[in-house]
Structure 1
């Protein structure tokens, strides 16, 4: 039965593939896709906001060394009733009083806890910056994979369309030969079965192309147009050992874990400093007015308060041991990350070598399969080969061409994966024409915990601009 809906959909996909391959003037490059992914990614925006939140931790820690000034106020009424049993009298008194004042507190000494907390917060900021860079690598690598997979599936659809046309020709030739008695009905049935299988494979390829296009849209932010083949592979290290050394030294995951270890060391020092006690200066001025008695009282106080822990139920030693355990975990994480990065580099370079060898082998296979197919078809024309022989030879050629498309795609993905494993798949290293996010700009505005000042006003303008994005 003729399925008009299915045919229309297949023609639409075929037309889309043809247009993608026939518009070199509007070709989209891999660099264009990476720029689109960089500007489109919500993950980057999300983690930039998390970095700004980490920047504020430095300001929060810094604020603990600043004076704390609070406005205080209260309004209350007191009343009493006095009963004299001997005199038999009852007296009621009441008073409404309002009090306002200013309370001030200043930390003078806390064993170094606050200063250590500031340094730990700075280490967390650096770790968050490194993780933002690692996420940038993931975003760009996803775009590269989406780009290459669209090209892979597009070429696969074209190949499958050609295969359907070729088998259709073989089927017509088989029917003609059957009509004149050169072959049997079995040969015609074999060609019909192979054509049905080719059409099924074409439908699967068209579905794969649609899925690849949707992934491209999600990764890059728009539907793919005519994607131009990348001109050359990116440059990587000359050897696996050099690549591993670069990864251990520069990869953002390694940098993040190093800062985690530094922050964990500082947190141990901070927990130990908590047992040294603290010294605070407190003061305040108050004005009280009795609304009933029409009196006013001014008062003030200044005190120097010292607190030294003696016994807290084992809480402080537990906090120290907890900080040490987390420090040990962070150090172990450094060891694990190092080996994971080295393994990732080794795997990426192995895949790159395999892809290069597979391309050479596939090209030789295509040349041999082409010669074989042409020879078998010519021999079939003179009756020395069967239809099945022709179909098998054609299938061998198809498999070889399909394999070449796959390994060429794998080679580019492996090359960029190798670059990512070294920590170099960044917009800066690739020289992408994008506006780089400066992680220090916001940090420099908040690190000193500005309140209402010129710096604070500038920060407000920055926050408003970020909110408009």
Structure 2
């Protein structure tokens, strides 16, 4: 049922993103283009991919604890006894391996794997943030551009009103006060235009930071993505898909394993050791020189009987960390529910605002035209005309903001449900494979064949 719901949402979502790319100039940038650029440009994604690779290495390190440690040892000694000089030189190989630790290393490996999966989920969360930031930057540039056009048109219209007021003053139809009101309104419109142009430059810089390039001609936003059937359905999707919940679940599992690992620290450890070497010695007493070869092996079984309270304290700490992770999972779950509800409410509010503003614009347009006509007959003052024009301007500006909020709320809902990813949006670009590096290092490679495979993965990461 859940997968069917995702497929039902995905098809209209993809169509919505691609719709903005049809019937547009070749140079127009679509919302999908902005998200692709942000995904490829983001240094935050690069940073968190490196964090994931470090977590992959932690899993390899945990596995390596089960393998032998081989090291060479060289020694040289010198002594002088009653004027006689003696010396010894030795070189050898020594290997040590943990033969059995009653599950301690196995638990550590499982915990490291859970941490890897949690870090992968965190990377998906960062990807969502990057794409949502691109959507926000794209819509900000679009709405800021429309606001500049609107304010520029207002300056033009009020300039015409100011010129008309001056002409009427010249023939004695109105007073100097009316002309001054028109002059003030024109100055205010120019100030608003300057502010709108400043906001556009700020939005352009935000777009450059998000995508790595300055915005060109931006295409109109595509149709809004399809919504789930109900708010409750959206919340269920969020609980199943949101990366923050998946991350918290994995961290809770890792914390549970941490409790088991702390308990396992009380268990014995069986280790084996083998050595081979050769030594050459000159005795200071006998003045005889000889060479000896040595070969040895040993088993060692040890267990901590008393640790001064360290092990019980570590066990209690692990249980506290487990409770912390469980509480964090519950908290994140509630946060996701809240985010879905907020986005859903934002969509409803923006839709209601647009409907009301459309009615406001129709009424304000009629009022403006009526006041202008009445002013030509002397029944209205210049101030009345300017007030009507300002009301119409504010209504149109509010609609620009409401339409941008409606678009943004849809993508905020996708992010709250955990669906705002390159893969789910089908943006048609190669994506980072979080398992490639793990697969190359999970066996703690040292041999040349594994090293060559790892080199290929690292080169691919560099190209990305």
Q: TM-score range by the shorter chain?
A: over 0.9
Post-superposition Cα deviations, 1:398-443, rounded to whole Å, max 9, x if no partner, equal 0000000000000000000011000000001110121111111111
Quick one: distance in 1 between partners of 2:416 and 2:220? 23
**Mapping of residues 50-65 of structure 1, within 5 Å:** 50-65=51-66
Is the 2:86–2:281 Cα contact (8 Å) retained in structure 1?
A: yes
Is the 2:282–2:290 Cα contact (8 Å) retained in structure 1?
A: yes
SS at match of 1:263: helix
Are 1:215 and 2:215 an aligned pair? no
Shift of 1:374: 0.7
**Mapping of residues 11-410 of structure 1, within 5 Å:** 24-80=25-81, 82=82, 92-290=83-281, 294-410=289-405
Which segments of structure 1 move beyond 6 Å, counting only runs of 4 or more?
A: none
Is the 2:122–2:244 Cα contact (8 Å) retained in structure 1?
A: yes
Quick one: distance in 2 between partners of 1:38 and 1:178? 60
Shift of 1:99: 1.1
Shift of 1:468: 5.8
Is the 1:98–1:291 Cα contact (8 Å) retained in structure 2?
A: no
Is the 2:252–2:325 Cα contact (8 Å) retained in structure 1?
A: yes
Quick one: distance in 2 between partners of 1:460 and 1:280? 34
2:5 corresponds in structure 1 to none
Q: Cα RMSD (Å) of the superposition?
A: 1.3
SS at match of 2:396: helix
Change (3 A) 1:468 1:437: closer
411-420 vs 440-449, greater mean Cα deviation: 440-449
Is the 2:137–2:207 Cα contact (8 Å) retained in structure 1?
A: yes
2:421 corresponds in structure 1 to 426
SS at match of 2:420: coil
Is the 2:144–2:203 Cα contact (8 Å) retained in structure 1?
A: yes
SS at match of 2:270: strand
SS at match of 1:445: helix
Are 1:452 and 2:447 an aligned pair? yes
SS at match of 1:26: coil
SS at match of 1:201: helix
Task: Give the gaps of 5 or more residues in structure 1.
Answer: 1-22, 83-91
Change (3 A) 1:367 1:291: farther
SS at match of 2:89: strand
Quick one: distance in 1 between partners of 2:172 and 2:451? 94
Quick one: distance in 2 between partners of 1:39 and 1:58? 28
Shift of 1:291: 6.4
Change (3 A) 1:93 1:461: farther
SS at match of 2:79: strand
Shift of 1:463: 2.5
2:409 to 405, 414, 418: 414
Post-superposition Cα deviations, 1:21-73, rounded to whole Å, max 9, x if no partner, equal xx934111001111100111111111111111111111100011111111111
SS at match of 1:428: helix
SS at match of 1:107: strand
Is the 1:141–1:417 Cα contact (8 Å) retained in structure 2?
A: yes
TM-score (norm 2): 0.92
Quick one: distance in 2 between partners of 1:120 and 1:333? 18
Quick one: distance in 1 between partners of 2:414 and 2:463? 34
286-295 vs 141-150, greater mean Cα deviation: 286-295
Change (3 A) 1:279 1:194: same
Change (3 A) 1:25 1:371: farther
1:89 corresponds in structure 2 to none
2:13 corresponds in structure 1 to none
Is the 1:110–1:274 Cα contact (8 Å) retained in structure 2?
A: no
Change (3 A) 1:289 1:465: farther
TM-score (norm 1): 0.91
Shift of 1:111: 2.1
Shift of 1:300: 2.3
